[in-house]
A and B are shown apart, each in its own frame.
Chain A
Amino acid sequence: MSTNPIVTGKLVCVALNDQQQLDKLDATFNEAPYKAAPTQPVLYFKPHNTWNTDGATIAWNEEGLVVGASLTVVFGKECCRTSAEEALSYVEGYTLTHDFSLPEKSYYRPDIKGKCQDGTAPVGAVVVPASDVADPQALTVVTQVNGETVGELPVSQLHRGVAELISIISNIMTLQPGDAIAVGFPGDRHPVKQGDKVTSSIAGVTELTNQVEA
């Protein structure tokens, strides 16, 4: 387990934010146990034992592992109750998060076992200054496993965009320097096998590579 110089506070992840996934699950949302579609962003923490870095090896889990990648917003100053209009002015820079989890069967209860395994949240490789990214909504996150593209998520495909999420989340919890938000993962998390090499990239921004323990 290694520490990560980028995230030192809290790492907030947004689930169920891929519009294609939401459309697909629409009927399910009205059934038990959900009974109604979410009206608010569906959030979870990746706690400090999960933080990891570019190049890190991810421990294998006998229950299997799936991966998703997300554009990640890093804060350089306190952000409390901001509006969507002003939200991006609090962003220090952009990077990537790999969320390695156990296969997810339900969104009903917090998934501590699935989401909080040691070292399963690499963040990096670098933080690109916000001033170098004209419009985060125009970015696309591409994930390759062993060189083959397995996921492609344009940020514009997210149900809630970067600025709206920062505004909503900063109205729940004050964000501090060293906090980060992973704004959305592809709905279909990709299963990985032992020894797989996972590389995600945002063209012109950064690239993050991790290998699953052989």
Chain B
Amino acid sequence: MKHARVLHNDVELDVTVNDQGDLVTAEGTVISESEVTWLSPIKKPGTIFALGLNYADHAAELAFEPPKEPLVFLKGANTLTGHKQNSYRPDNIEFQHYECELVAVIGKEGKNISREDAMDYIAGYTVCNDFAIRDYLENYYRPNLRVKSRDSLCPIGPWLIDKEDVGDISDLRLTTHVNGELTQEGTTKDIIFDVPFLVEYLSKIMTLKPGDMIATGTPKGLKDMQPGDTVVCEIEKVGALTTYIVSEQEFYGDKY
């Protein structure tokens, strides 16, 4: 089952998405996608973990040795942005790139979870676009919050799909299209630290709770984004997430 959250006539709704792509409310009312604004599918977002350099080919692209230990950083919930929504490119920068990532969403609280039991703690999956502003990188807590945790820097969705509906996640194809052109392609089989490993690793440090998310990193294929671009991050069996790039001024409007 695909679980989404949408805004419909100014009301937040928890819906499921049927095979025709229509949205179905808890009462069984069918709503067309064209009538809603998509929200982040995670109702109560917890900690957002993201992995750096977790695909061997991407690490090489950035001229890094693949890490021996996971490179984990956190993103704030202010970054979460629904499907078909805007993300902004800051003024006066040279390089903002997308990162198509498989996100595992925690469904059950746990600490010291073994690799063998890890999948019991996963509710399902979604897609995120873990945007980065490379201009802002500094060598302190790198990648620093200014690079990764700005408003709108984590489009996510369109939905959360139950893990049973995806099954094996060890070889899912990932693609990113910018304005219809294929710019990034990879498979989750190139992940260095996989989901069971990460659940074990993180839960040794801290209690994982429902709503926590693990964005598992991105394969190679970075490309600069400009206002007006449309980016679609897609993961086989999970979903395709569309984001519109706008200028800082357009994004903030009166607050600019």
Q: In the docked arrangement, what's the CA distance between A16 and B150, Å?
A: 21
Q: Are A112 and B140 closer than 8 Å at their CB atoms?
A: no
B145 near A172 with CB under 8 A, answer yes
The answer to whether residues A110 and B206 also contact, given A38-B140, A81-B252 and a CB cut-off of 8 A, is no
Residues on A with beta carbons closer than 8 Å to the beta carbon of B49: 112
Q: A10-B78, A47-B47 are in contact. Are A110 and B72 (CB under 8 A)?
A: yes
Contact residues in B for A42 (Cβ distance below 8 Å) = 140-141, 144
Number of residues in B with C-beta < 8 Å to the partner? 34
Main secondary structure of the interface of A (DSSP, over half): loop
B62 at the interface (CB under 8 A from A): no
B170 interfacial contact with A, CB 8 Å:
no
Give Cα distance in the complex from A111 to B140, angstroms.
10
Indicate the size class of the contact surface on chain A. 35 or more
Q: Are B47 and A48 in contact (CB-based, < 8 A)?
A: yes
A172-B146, A174-B78 known; A80+B252 contact, CB < 8 A: yes
Note all chain A residues with C-beta closer than 8 A to B208.
Answer: 49
Given contacts A42-B140, A109-B71, A172-B145, contact A117 B205 (CB under 8 A): yes
Q: Do B205 and A173 have beta carbons less than 8 Å apart?
A: no
- Complex CA gap A120/B226 in Å reads 41
The stretch of A29-37, A69-77, A87-95, A187-195 that contacts the partner chain = A29-37
Residues of B within 8 A of A81 (CB): 252, 255-256
In the bound complex, do residue B139 and residue A173 qualify as a contact, i.e. CB atoms below 8 Å apart? Answer: no
CA distance A212 to B51 in the complex (A): 31
Instruction: Provide a sorted-by-A list of 21 A–B residue pairs whose CB atoms are within 8 angstroms.
Output: A15-B141, A36-B139, A38-B138, A39-B138, A40-B138, A44-B74, A45-B74, A47-B46, A47-B74, A48-B47, A107-B141, A108-B140, A109-B71, A110-B73, A110-B143, A116-B74, A118-B206, A173-B78, A173-B145, A173-B150, A173-B151
Contacts A42-B141, A43-B145, A172-B149 known; list 18 others, CB within 8 Å. Answer: A9-B77, A12-B76, A34-B139, A35-B139, A40-B136, A47-B74, A48-B46, A49-B207, A49-B208, A81-B252, A110-B73, A112-B72, A116-B47, A118-B111, A172-B145, A172-B150, A172-B151, A173-B150
B→A interface (CB under 8 Å): 46-47, 49, 71-74, 76-79, 111, 136, 138-146, 149-151, 202, 205-209, 252, 255-256
